[in-house]
């Protein structure tokens, strides 16, 4: 049985779970999630990227968290306008 690629793994998680954080992807042994997401965006997947900054209570230091959310996929035509699915 073939092991899924990192891109396939991220797409299947986003299809089921709707959104995932960069830390969760790193726990799944995806070393550089932003690079994989960037390639998916270049392939035509509409992925929303949200950056959330929160203050941690004991030290009140700021912590940044990146969340990815899949909208839908569009097809890049050879000519003319983009068509959406």
Domains of the chain and any CATH numbers: 6-73 (1.10.10)
Q: Output the pTM of the full model.
A: 0.71
Angle between the 6-17 and 33-42 helix axes, to the nearest 10 degrees?
A: 80
Contact residues for 12 (Cβ-Cβ < 8 A; gap 6+): 4
Report the number of secondary-structure helices (H) and strands (E) in the chain: 3, 4
Pairing type for strands 19-21 and 45-55 reads unpaired
Q: Which tens digits make up the pLDDT trace of 26-53?
A: 998 998 999 999 999 998 888 999 998 8
Q: Please state the length of the chain.
A: 85
Question: Residue 78: pLDDT above 70?
Answer: no
pLDDT in tens, 6-33: 999 999 899 888 889 999 999 989 989 9
């Amino acid at each position: 049985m073939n092991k899924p690629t990192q891109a396939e793994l991220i797409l299947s998680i986003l299809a089921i779970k709707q959104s995932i954080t960069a830390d969760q992807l790193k726990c799944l042994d995806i070393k550089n999630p932003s690079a994989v997401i960037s390639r998916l965006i270049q392939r035509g997947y509409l992925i929303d990227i949200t950056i959330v900054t929160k203050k941690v209570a004991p030290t009140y230091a700021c912590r940044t968290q990146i969340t990815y959310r899949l909208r839908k996929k569009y097809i890049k035509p050879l000519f003319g306008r983009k068509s959406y699915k």
